């Protein structure tokens, strides 16, 4: 089960209520989500609480948000495959995301990192046409290759890869 700390904007857009009865996990199942705009295009960003691994989906339409689970599953599978993760790890990780629970944001450090990622993308891609012309996989590879101080100056993809291997193979 993915526990997603969603901003008020996301909760309103998805038309869901944040649950408060959910125990917050500290592993790869805890995420934060926000919606932002670049130009006239709406983008979705999902950031892992533990590793700051992010998934950005540019050009999200309202009807795609109605089936958020399928949207995330598809994009996670594509991005993790492109990062060279093995099929077993990807499959087991995606299985956990079959159930999604939305809560309010619960980690200021992660929200701050997410805001910085959005600002960086808005600077690199000042118009919506730039980000829509960019391959989303390349965009995510760039974001996950940046070194962040909240994770002790590591790259999110390196931490994510390390933790997914531990989780899948129970090392």
pLDDT tens per residue, range 30-68: 999 999 999 999 999 999 999 999 999 999 999 999 999
pLDDT tens per residue, range 103-119: 999 999 999 999 999 99
Q: Which residues of 50-60 are buried (b: 16+ CB within 10 A; e: fewer)?
A: bbbbbbbbbeb
Choose the most confident range, by mean pLDDT, from 21-30, 83-92, 93-102, 111-120: 111-120
Kindly list the strands in the beta sheet with 54-57, ordered across the sheet, starting from the edge strand earlier in the chain: 54-57, 41-48, 30-38, 2-6, 100-104
Q: In the predicted model, what is the mean pLDDT of residues 154-167?
A: 92
Class of domain 2-169: alpha beta
Domain boundaries defined on the chain: 2-169
């Amino acid at each position: 089960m993915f526990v997603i700390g969603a901003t008020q904007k996301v909760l309103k857009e998805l038309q869901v209520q944040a649950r408060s009865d959910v125990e917050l996990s500290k592993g790869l199942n805890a995420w934060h989500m926000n919606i932002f705009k670049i130009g006239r295009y709406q983008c979705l960003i999902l950031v892992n609480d533990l590793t700051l691994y992010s998934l950005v989906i540019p050009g999200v339409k309202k009807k795609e948000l109605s089936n958020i689970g399928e949207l995330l599953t598809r994009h996670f599978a594509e991005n993790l495959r492109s990062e060279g993760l093995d099929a077993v790890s990807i499959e087991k990780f995606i299985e956990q995301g079959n159930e999604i629970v939305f809560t309010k944001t619960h980690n200021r450090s992660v929200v701050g990192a997410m805001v910085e990622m959005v600002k960086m993308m808005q600077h690199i891609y000042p118009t919506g046409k730039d980000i829509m012309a960019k391959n989303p996989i390349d965009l995510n590879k760039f974001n996950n290759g940046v070194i962040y101080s909240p994770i002790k100056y590591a790259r999110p993809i390196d931490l994510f890869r390390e933790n997914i291997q531990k989780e899948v193979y129970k090392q």
